[in-house]
Amino acid sequence: MTASAVAAAAVPWMTAPASAKPQDPTTDWSDFGRKVASAFDALHNVGGAAAVVSADQVLHMATFGVRNLQGRRPVTPSTLFRVGSTTKSMAAALVATYVDDGSIGWDQKVIDAWSGFRAPTDEMTHNLRVRDLLGMGSGIGEPARVESGLHFDGLTAAQIVESVVTLPVVAPRVDEKFFYANSIQTVGGYLPLLAAGVAPADLASAWDVAVRERVFEPAGMTGARILGDPRGQVEDYATGNAFDLRGTVASVPFAPMGAYGPSGGAMVSVSDMAAWVQLQLRRGRSVTGHQVVSAANLAECYVPHVNVPAGLPGSLSMSYGMGWNEVKYAGGTRLIAHGGAIDGFNTFMAFFPEHDLGLVVTTSLNTMVTGDLWPFYSLSLLLSQRFGINPAGPQQVLDMNATRLATLADLARQARPVDMKLTEPYLGYYEGGWSVARQGRELQLRIGPRVFGLQVMPDGSYVVSSGSGTTIPLRLAKEADGTPHIEITGVETVRRTTGL
């Protein structure tokens, strides 16, 4: 299962007090590379890649492992990975190109840009600005079922746009509360096209064309594309993986993003991600020499809108701009960053604007127990080696991995095989595209391409034993009228519609 909070790269950390002892800028990248490679293996990754860049050169790039568990083909600099919510930075840059040409403005009221806009309240409808839709502080939230990332394929682009009026209000004022909302951000990504007269039914395909022509191609991101499933469309791609309940890494299927492409639909190689971070360091000018977006409007994407409660390793504070987080460390060190997590994949990108230094890490492993840890190990190592910030950070990441595996082992010791006779009444199809089925001796919960094997816990709840890397508990129960339902903790409760 996918959790949008992980996509925001905001995870809890037990960190030592940060220090900011300046380091020699001629960091030994070979030593950095060796330690990142060692951590890749220690953290049980399957495939991945990392790059360190300056504005004008790639200082270090390395690929690791294989593209999938079933084969032996190694990851290459051109291997495509799903990069999840890092796509939001690309969506914000796309909007910035329309601000550049004067067709839309950051502080323009959304309803003035597109008269069809409707928010949950009249005040929001008439006062939200273009920048507010991209800033995670709009005051508009998400239903838990959408926030979970399990229903991205359930709505068309037109339905996403129309659904805004029904979304929950989580704060009365703009930039009062951080809430990671994919739906409202997706509408923000589509807004320039709506303002230009694109019909809601045509938004998804038109956005794919626009981001390719206005961002990917001029940025030198030659392999980047909006894809939920690359099979049959490209040759060099990675498949996702996650831990099962036994702590074994297993492959997971490609899960669709549907019309939520502006929120997390990109597949990008480490070479293209490196070029993307270099574009930030080059103030909107690509490595191929194109001025993709003006320096001024690109910089607007980094301006903080709302404070983020949970920070990154050793940080003093973290806030969200438009598709980017601003992270502050002791000594005045500033990091602009964003992470992305989606079924079986995890990506992190960041740059230090005052130090001409950027980092990209992408991997085909994601577990919702803690999020994948290798990108955060790489960031912690860079902070420690280059800036002397939180030198204990890299070891803390390795320790967290040990805790992660211990948590899985403890759950595995408690879990027991399902009594198939007792669960027979719950087999069938449920609301929201869910189903419960038996496959051999395993009870499975299914939604779209996702298949979650289940085991039972001592308290009668169920835990996912395979297929997702999550430990979200759920219950099978019956309502007063005898109708079976599934209670997925923190996500949704769905009733059975038909039996098998």
What per-residue confidence (pLDDT) applies to 23?
41
Judgement on whether residues 432 and 384 belong to the same structural domain of the protein: no
354 shares its domain with 444: no
Tell me the residue range of the domain where 71 lies.
Answer: 4-93+207-407
In this prediction, residue 6 carries a pLDDT of 29
Q: Are 95 and 191 in contact (CB under 8 A)?
A: yes
Last residue of a domain, one of 340, 375, 407: 407
Based on the domain organization, do 451 and 481 belong to the same domain? yes
What's the pLDDT tens digit per position in 300-342?
999 999 999 977 878 999 999 999 999 999 989 999 999 999 9
102: left (phi over 0), alpha (psi -120 to 50) or beta: left
Res. 4: pLDDT tops 90: no
Q: 203-211 and 87-100 are packed helices; what angle lies between their axes, rounded to 10 degrees?
A: 80
Domain presence at residue 150: no
State how many domains the chain has: 2
pLDDT tens digits along 358-405: 999 999 998 655 457 999 999 999 999 999 999 999 999 999 889 888
What's the token pair of residue 151? 């229903």
* Domain-terminating residue out of 379, 407, 435: 407
The CATH number for 328's domain is 3.40.710.10
Q: Give the pLDDT score at 405.
A: 86
Q: Are 279 and 219 in contact (CB under 8 A)?
A: yes
pLDDT one-digit tens code per residue, 423-452: 999 999 999 999 999 999 999 999 999 999
Of 227, 342, 196, 221, residue with least CA distance to 279: 221
List pLDDT tens digits, range 9-39.
333 332 333 333 444 444 679 999 999 999 9
Structure tokens at 443: 């009870």
One domain for residues 216 and 360: yes
CB 337 within 8 A of CB 348: yes
Question: 378 and 324 share a domain?
Answer: yes
Q: What is the pLDDT of residue 154?
A: 81
**Assigned domain for 449 exists:** yes
Angle value at C-alpha 310, between 305 and 313, nearest 5 degrees: 110
Name residues whose C-beta falls within 8 Å of residue 482's C-beta, 6 or more positions apart in sequence: none
Residues 6+ apart with CB under 8 A from 395: none
pTM: 0.93
Task: Return mean pLDDT, the chain.
Answer: 91
